[in-house]
Structure 1
Amino acid sequence: MTATSLPRTETKTSLRTQLARRKPIDRLPHPDESPLPHGDLKRSLGLWQLTMISVGATLGTGIFVILGASIPLAGPAIWIAFLVAGVAALLSALSYAEMASCVPASGSSYSYVYATMGEGIAWVCGWCLVLEYAVSIAAVAVGAGQYINESLATFGLQLPDAIAQPPGFGGVVNLPAAGLVILSMLLLIRGAQESAWVNTVMVGVKIVILLIFVAIAFTAFSARNFEPLAPMGVAGISAAASRLFFSYIGFDAASTAGEEARNPQRDLPKAIILSMLIITVIYILVAIAAIGARPWTWFHSGEASLVVILQQLTGQPWVALVFSVGAVIAIASIVLTVLYGQTRILMTMSRDGMVPRVFGRISPRTNTPVAGTLIVGIVVAVAAALIPLGELADATSIGTLCAFALVNLSVIYLRRARPELRRSYRVPFYPLVPIAGFAMCVLLMLTLGGTTWLVFGIWMLIGTGLYFLYGRKHSVVGALSAVDYADAADSSLSIVKALK
């Protein structure tokens, strides 16, 4: 029985009961079930493709310019700041890995929270993810015009600002940004496997470009540039780590592919952890190479430091072209993978009755949510083309951290409530890791500015209104009677015992 076929009753459920009602884990799609011809996604993604989805959503344009903004805070110890930020992000990544192993469904943290903390908090989490994914896609795509122009400049060409910049920055409509979103949308409609392979190629190009920088920068390496190691002390390293934490956001993208992974319980935890290791190693290598090539006082906030270093070391104009093309590919990879995650989250919420059913319709020809992908793609393309996002993009950080915090709590809840549940991966040093992950997320949320909190508050008010207008009335789990719900819970427990 699928989520869309759950029995509905006329029994009125109180608001308090419905908000606390959890989705039985046996109602989630299981990897051993045969797919329905017109309702389920195709399981076609392996470990490497899942890993590249997370790397693609995380390893973006930030690393091309992030050193200029962070090195003045930490000095030569910037590589330590990257390591600290990576460990902080890994705390939540480990919790995601455990939840993905025992709740192998699409929907990422929304599905995990629904199965542990109930419908009310699941809606909050899902609404945070909608904010995180939709705004971040548009925010990243907005930079496409600038990097395309830098690439064209090598050949003496340039797009007019009117069609290459957003309003408020000298432009009328940002066509490169909209075009990039539309192309990603069309690719996703063709199929998850095709999209995953294209993303894998783009991620490979990004990694090669960064490794080229490392190789060239090491030809001018000087150990003296690391003295003193931490001129700003521990406070400087901490400040840089807090800023760098957000360059790790995106590792959870693989968890949105729970229903398209061939072996989600085995591969999703590995993909999440492996992507974190790949990203952290690349970040640290780039940081060490950059400091080795230039003293830390040389770096300035806002400068594209990597490009400048290579131009000075090689004296070749093609360097700017290579890195501009690399930045465009980085943007394309992020747009593709994050748009993928957005459509799968809305698909899962649609099956639960929390958003309109159109987002959950699966094409029997492509095995993808075509209608939902079209809607999301067009809305995001319009936003990227016409809206100067500015500080609104910072709201993605608070939405992401809120979702991370809830997943850490979900691990603790499920360990206590369902200790018999089969887990192919367990968080080490439980409960210290999820507690530390939750604390880190809350701490970083508190450091965000007032404007970000205001935007987040308005977004939550809008979400609350939508829940009462639509979600509460159409909720599949909320429509279960007390008897139905007890039967579902008993069924889940019996399945678990049988698996044991």
Structure 2
Amino acid sequence: MKIFRKKSLDKMMVSAEKTHLKKTLKTKDIAALGIGAVVGVGIFVATGTGAHKAGPGIIISFLLAGIVACLCGLCYSELATMFPVSGSTYSYAYITFGEIVAMIVGWCLTSEYLVACSAVASGWSGTFIGILKNAGIVLPKVITASPSKGGIVDLPAVLITLILTYILYYGMKESSRVNNIIVIVKIAIIVMFLVLGATHIKMTNYKPFAPFGFKGIFAGASVIFFSYIGFDAISTTAEEAENPGRDVSRGLIICLAVVSILYISVAFVLTGMVHYDKIVTEDAVPAALASVGIRWGSALVGIGAILGMISTMIAVL
């Protein structure tokens, strides 16, 4: 049947050459793109949500979720090495299963990235408006809220999307530099939290370690697994990598290793600073810092959230 016709790798490679995409991305750029996509506001929020289900056992939950994500990442690494073309799972499905499956996968990916970018842009707008409000600058609701929320247009969300789209249009090399800087600052903020929080850890907070048993640990893993989603965006960079077979695979592995270490470290420090049943779900990290007298924690996390959402938008766009 024609709807199941496949495209050979050779034809896919010929099509790839016609796109004239510049091969400028190195391993570090691809890894940074993945870290930017994965490490968002989830690291500040999901940890608290998961801790209420697993207690300090959330550390094991992150470890389990990380193992599953790494296994998925190895599959993507293998596929990106075999098929060094853009399109991610759309291209892989076209070559292996045929056109109809590829079309379904392609539309699912397009919808996922479209909805994800819109949601993140809206979240970024809300955080940005909140920061301006704290600084005494109040923007009219008519240009800061969507029609469903009583406004006409969420202008900050539209503007940040247009700015990032232009940066990406201007060139992948330039946009990867912007992303690299954002990721460095974002990781620095997380490391700062780890350093500050480590001095306020109380070993008694780790008891009981798994108050809800393995059921709670797996429940926590199911809640925080979404925090790892986004690394698949790395496989779309294959045509812009200097050496796709090497750089995409290494970038994926480095990304997931760094992300796993950061998540597990944040979970360890957070549950050590505050007893799991006293962690504020919606405001876990800043509330933990405030509980030990570090009041500027909210501002710190606010900057991290702003940058985290920008790097996520860059990846999905």
TM over 0.5: yes
Secondary structure, counterpart of 1:28 in structure 2: helix
Alignment of structure 1 residues 468-479 onto 2, 5 Å:
none
2:5 pairs, out of 7, 21, 39, with 21
CA shift for structure 1 position 63: 1.2
Secondary structure, counterpart of 2:87 in structure 1: coil
2:218 pairs, out of 238, 241, 248, with 238
CA shift for structure 1 position 68: 2.6
Q: Match of 2:158, as an amino acid?
A: A
Please say if 1:275 is aligned against 2:255. yes
User: Is the Cα contact below 8 Å between 1:217 and 1:290 reproduced in 2?
Assistant: yes
> Looking at CA atoms only, which structure, 1 or 2, has the larger radius of gyration?
1
Alignment of structure 1 residues 76-115 onto 2, 5 Å:
76-115=56-95
Q: Deviations over 1:243-269 (max 9, x none)?
A: 211111111111101111000011111
Rate the CA distance shift 1:298–1:169 in 2: closer, same or farther, 3 A. farther
Secondary structure, counterpart of 2:13 in structure 1: coil
Structure 1: runs of 5 or more not aligned: 1-15, 340-500
Aligned position for 2:291: 312
Please say if 1:71 is aligned against 2:51. yes
Secondary structure, counterpart of 2:199 in structure 1: helix
Q: Match of 1:109, as an amino acid?
A: T
Alignment of structure 1 residues 316-355 onto 2, 5 Å:
316=295, 318-339=296-317
Greater relative contact order (CA < 8 Å, ≥ 6 in sequence): 2
CA shift for structure 1 position 77: 0.6
Distance between the aligned counterparts of 2:72 and 2:251, measured in 1?
14
Distance between the aligned counterparts of 1:63 and 1:159, measured in 2?
29
Q: Match of 2:301, as an amino acid?
A: F
User: Is the Cα contact below 8 Å between 2:48 and 2:284 reproduced in 1?
Assistant: yes
CA shift for structure 1 position 175: 1.3
Rate the CA distance shift 1:229–1:54 in 2: closer, same or farther, 3 A. same
User: Is the Cα contact below 8 Å between 1:307 and 1:323 reproduced in 2?
Assistant: yes
User: Is the Cα contact below 8 Å between 2:47 and 2:224 reproduced in 1?
Assistant: no
Secondary structure, counterpart of 1:43 in structure 2: coil
CA shift for structure 1 position 170: 4.6
User: Is the Cα contact below 8 Å between 1:202 and 1:333 reproduced in 2?
Assistant: yes
Distance between the aligned counterparts of 1:161 and 1:326, measured in 2?
25
Alignment of structure 1 residues 395-434 onto 2, 5 Å:
none
Q: Match of 1:306, as an amino acid?
A: V
Q: Deviations over 1:212-267 (max 9, x none)?
A: 11111111101111111111111111111112111111111111011110000111
Rate the CA distance shift 1:165–1:308 in 2: closer, same or farther, 3 A. farther
Secondary structure, counterpart of 2:40 in structure 1: coil
Please say if 1:131 is aligned against 2:111. yes
Q: Match of 1:24, as an amino acid?
A: S
Q: Deviations over 1:168-187 (max 9, x none)?
A: 34543211111111111110
Aligned position for 1:402: none
Aligned position for 1:120: 100
Q: Match of 1:235, as an amino acid?
A: K
User: Is the Cα contact below 8 Å between 2:51 and 2:220 reproduced in 1?
Assistant: yes
Distance between the aligned counterparts of 1:287 and 1:224, measured in 2?
15
Distance between the aligned counterparts of 1:300 and 1:312, measured in 2?
11
Distance between the aligned counterparts of 1:104 and 1:264, measured in 2?
6
Distance between the aligned counterparts of 1:325 and 1:247, measured in 2?
19
Q: Deviations over 1:89-113 (max 9, x none)?
A: 2221111110000100000111111
2:32 pairs, out of 43, 46, 52, with 52
Between 1:282-291 and 1:154-163, the stretch displaced more is 154-163
Moved over 6 A (4+): none
Between 1:168-177 and 1:236-245, the stretch displaced more is 168-177
Q: Match of 1:82, as an amino acid?
A: F
CA shift for structure 1 position 191: 0.3
User: Is the Cα contact below 8 Å between 2:73 and 2:253 reproduced in 1?
Assistant: yes
Distance between the aligned counterparts of 1:320 and 1:234, measured in 2?
33
Q: Match of 2:13, as an amino acid?
A: P
Secondary structure, counterpart of 2:148 in structure 1: coil
Distance between the aligned counterparts of 1:79 and 1:170, measured in 2?
41
Aligned position for 1:204: 184
Distance between the aligned counterparts of 1:233 and 1:161, measured in 2?
47
Rate the CA distance shift 1:242–1:310 in 2: closer, same or farther, 3 A. same
Q: Match of 2:95, as an amino acid?
A: A
CA shift for structure 1 position 154: 4.1
Q: Match of 2:232, as an amino acid?
A: D
Distance between the aligned counterparts of 2:136 and 2:298, measured in 1?
13
Rate the CA distance shift 1:84–1:136 in 2: closer, same or farther, 3 A. same
Distance between the aligned counterparts of 1:29 and 1:203, measured in 2?
32
Please say if 1:190 is aligned against 2:173. no
The two structures, once aligned, show a CA RMSD in angstroms of 1.7
Secondary structure, counterpart of 2:292 in structure 1: helix
Alignment: residue pair count:
316
Q: Match of 1:23, as an amino acid?
A: K
User: Is the Cα contact below 8 Å between 2:26 and 2:241 reproduced in 1?
Assistant: yes
CA shift for structure 1 position 161: 3.4
Identity rate, percent: 38
Q: Deviations over 1:300-327 (max 9, x none)?
A: 43x21111122333444x4322321221
Distance between the aligned counterparts of 1:113 and 1:128, measured in 2?
12
Q: Deviations over 1:410-452 (max 9, x none)?
A: xxxxxxxxxxxxxxxxxxxxxxxxxxxxxxxxxxxxxxxxxxx
